[in-house]
């Protein structure tokens, strides 16, 4: 976990992250990793569960505080932009082990909104790769959520192309969908496969399918939508991890918002005993310590404060790694001077080390 090598940089430049079109120093240890001290009794078994690594299909995540998918409605023709590089990069730099990129439509008629992201064609790969490269450059991992909005795809000039599991509209303000044929269904399945392929080419580590809130896949699972029956079926088909949500399958539902309002549903699924089913620091600690879930995906609180991972660490008394470049401004308030691999071990030139008097001519503006 929090261990450092003595040979992580050259005489004149920090080690670069491989495979990028830009230079950035490699973080010695991924930000958000617990710093262990066995001599003081700080071990992987004694730290808060939020910072115990979890491994799924050979991929290890250094903590369990992850970014949930959140639609930004900020794409033109489905293309990611520099906005998304900055938007997702802030959480990668600050230590979330897995960052879920917002829902991306896998077909034009699958968009929830005209400004949704999309992986509709190969020319969408490069813009997504820019986002993924920034996340990867900070030693974090990325996932993307793929979706077909189904009958909730009812906006703009493509309303006449809306498809659904039935011909019933979501409500009077949405377009009436065409009931999908078997051919339509297979075409959609193929489109999901192509979108997943494009995501992998862009460097995505994990593929997520939006199967909730009444969108297309969810609408086919209903009316037998009892999650406790549905999850074991998906698990048997090879799904590794479930992000539990609720609501949206029927417009008559009244969702009661509040702290941990989705947690009881996650706890019910967790109690099935399936492998790898998955606010503030106190809330995160409560969820994981009481075995209500395996990881916590945080959404809006990350928008308010990108330092949630560090806040969880502080509130639970856990020392975790911080951004190498930010070593003079640690979240725990302990001032650290020049301990990062960003610094060089090479001797500075004699000119730099001259006294103020000898350098004075260079400091005076005539």
CATH number at residue 124: 3.20.20.70
Intervals of the chain under pLDDT 50: 4-12, 224, 275-279, 336-340, 344-345, 347-348, 362-366
Name the residue range of residue 48's domain.
Answer: 38-363
State pLDDT tens for residues 253-303: 666 656 655 666 666 666 655 544 434 677 788 888 888 888 988 988 999
pLDDT value for 187: 96
Supply the pLDDT for residue 191.
97
Q: Is residue 7 part of a domain?
A: no
- Name the domain count of the chain: 1
Any domain includes 139 = yes
**pLDDT attached to residue 46:** 95
Catalytic residue (choose from 215, 230, 326, 335):
215
Distances (CA, A) of 38 to 124, 205, 316, 317: 47, 32, 18, 15
pLDDT at res. 9: 44
Residue 56 lies in a domain: yes
Q: Is residue 257 part of a domain?
A: yes
Asked whether residue 1 is domain-assigned, the answer is no
User: Is 215 known to be catalytic?
Assistant: yes
With respect to residue 209, please indicate whether it lies within any of the assigned structural domains. yes
Task: Enumerate the β-bridge partners of residue 76.
Answer: 79
Answer yes or no: are the C-beta atoms of 46 and 158 closer than 8 Å. Answer: no
Is 347 a member of any domain? yes
Position 217 in a domain: yes
């Amino acid at each position: 976990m929090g261990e450092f090598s003595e040979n992580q940089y050259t005489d004149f430049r920090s080690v670069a992250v491989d495979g990028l079109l830009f230079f950035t120093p490699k973080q010695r240890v991924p930000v958000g990793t617990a710093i262990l001290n066995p001599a003081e009794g700080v071990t992987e078994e004694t730290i808060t569960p939020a910072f115990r690594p979890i491994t799924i299909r050979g991929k290890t995540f250094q903590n369990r505080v992850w970014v949930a998918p959140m639609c930004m409605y900020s794409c033109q023709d489905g293309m990611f932009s520099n906005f998304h590089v900055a938007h997702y990069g802030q959480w990668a730099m600050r230590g979330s082990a897995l960052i879920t990129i917002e829902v991306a439509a896998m077909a034009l008629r699958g968009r929830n909104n005209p400004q949704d992201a999309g992986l509709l064609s190969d020319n969408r790969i490069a813009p997504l790769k820019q986002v993924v490269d920034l996340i990867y450059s900070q030693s974090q991992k990325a996932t993307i959520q793929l979706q077909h909005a189904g009958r909730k795809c009812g906006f703009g000039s493509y309303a006449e192309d809306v498809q659904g599991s039935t011909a019933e509209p979501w409500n009077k303000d949405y377009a009436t969908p065409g009931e999908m044929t078997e051919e339509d269904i297979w075409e959609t399945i193929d489109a999901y496969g192509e979108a997943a392929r494009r995501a992998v080419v862009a460097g995505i580590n994990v593929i997520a399918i939006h199967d909730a809130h009444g969108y297309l896949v969810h609408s086919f699972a209903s009316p037998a939508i009892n999650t406790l029956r549905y999850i074991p079926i998906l698990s048997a088909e090879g799904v590794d991890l479930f992000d539990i949500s609720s609501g949206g399958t029927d417009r008559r539902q009244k969702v009661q918002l509040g702290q941990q309002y989705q947690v009881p549903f996650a706890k019910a699924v967790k109690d099935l005993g399936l492998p790898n089913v998955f606010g503030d620091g106190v809330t995160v600690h409560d969820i994981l310590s009481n075995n209500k879930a395996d990881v916590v995906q945080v959404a809006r609180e990350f928008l308010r404060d990108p330092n949630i991972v560090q806040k969880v660490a502080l509130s639970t008394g856990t020392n975790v790694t911080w951004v190498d470049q930010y070593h003079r401004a640690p979240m725990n308030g302990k001032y650290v001077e020049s301990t990062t691999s960003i610094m060089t071990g090479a001797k500075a030139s004699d000119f730099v080390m001259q006294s103020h008097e000898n350098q004075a001519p260079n400091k005076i503006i005539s």
